[in-house]
Amino acid sequence: MAKADLDWENLGFAYRSLPQRYVSNYANGTWDEGGLTSDSTVAISECAGILQYCQEVFEGLKAYETADGHIVTFRPDLNAARMYDSAAYLEMPSFPKERFLEAVDAVVKANRDYVPPYGTDASLYLRPFIFASGEVIGVKPADEYQFRLFATPVGSYFKGGIKPIRLCVSAFDRAAPHGTGHIKAGLNYAMSLHAYMAAHAAGFDENMFLDAATRTHVEETGGANFLFIKKDGTVVTPKSPSILPSVTRRSLVYIAEHVLGLKVEHRPVAFEELNDFAECGLCGTAAVISPVGSVTHGDQVIAFPSGMEHMGPVLQKLYDTLRGIQLGTVEAPEGWIRKIC
């Protein structure tokens, strides 16, 4: 099999319809056998729960070609578990975790030619999701659902690649206390779009969302958690019940403590503390680690000492170690890498 003829270095973060995806349908209280299909379209009732009341959850993970030519995924069991929890929270049937992993393997294998070659900065992004396909008109959970998982090759999430980005503190909130911020539901992203467009119109790359109750503590961006580095090299990452538990952040915390021997603080982070940090970055599957150069809050501009040209040295070490684990050049902690072929 030959690799697809794509411009691997300039993919951006965009959707490209690949030959195969996985589909399983839920009806009468059970998921059907499911399988691969070449049909990239979905036909549903105009009254489907997803269209009326946004009953949908999703995940994001990546497959990589390693230095020795294998195709692997990174901690897909954590995505399976998070999707299980997200679905339960939105009163949807959870998709069995073992079947989630089988679907990932099947889609990656079937689209193997589209896994970007080792040595490029690209990877194969996997998007599993469950949506309400059953009809509802009164506000209640549907009784039919579809699990679907497609793949698309992607490059860096932010346009400048790994150049530091500029954030602004959003005038809007992402997640309410006791709301849905901790689950990966499409509705969280729908309501972030107005804030996203406002930030872009004002010349910023992304929003920093503060806690909705007091607007004094840092939460996350629309699609990534925060990492801060203190001047003594300590890693600080915000803790809040309305932040999505990022697989990347949890992995980087482990790497910082157990591989790099750094101190880590996972705790509420007051916005006022930003002045004391040496480095700031976003972390997530799509973002990997994206350095942040500055955060603007009204008239106040916080410019991190790491500057607008490069990632700071501690974030760079975390980035190199994480990428090394994903690409097979750094030994992975037990159970982190799932070899597909």
The residues annotated as belonging to the active site are 184
Distance CA 115, CA 135 (A): 37
* Residue 270, helix vs strand vs coil: strand
**Amino acid at residue number 225:** N
Residues 225-264, mask of contacts with ligand COI (x by CB under 6 A): ----------------------------------------
CA dist 46 → 33, 82, 93, 96, 190 (Å) = 25, 29, 21, 28, 19
Query: With CB under 6 A as the contact rule, which of the stretches 135-143, 197-205, 219-227, 317-325 interacts with ligand PLP?
Result: 219-227
State yes or no: residue 86 binds ligand COI (CB under 6 A). no
* DSSP, res 9: G
Question: What HEC string does 249-289 produce?
Answer: HHHHHHHHHHHCCCCEEEECCEHHHHHHEEEEEEEECCCEE
Among 56, 144, 220, 279, binds ligand PLP (CB under 6 A): 220
Contact 288, 323 (CB under 8 A): yes
Question: Considering beta carbons, is residue 136 or 224 the nearer one to ligand COI?
Answer: 224
Total number of residues that touch ligand COI (CB under 6 A): 6
134 or 284: CB nearest ligand COI = 284
Site size toward ligand PLP (CB under 6 A) is 12
- List the structure tokens of 108: 């990656």
Residue 54 corresponds to which tokens in the numbers above?
Answer: 């946004």
* Partner from ligand PLP, ligand COI, none binding residue 244, C-beta < 5-8 Å depending on class: ligand PLP
Site for ligand PLP in 272-311 (CB under 6 A): 284-285
Chain contacts with ligand COI (rule: CB under 6 A): 60, 189, 223, 284-286
Chain contacts with ligand PLP (rule: CB under 6 A): 60, 220, 223-225, 244, 246-249, 284-285
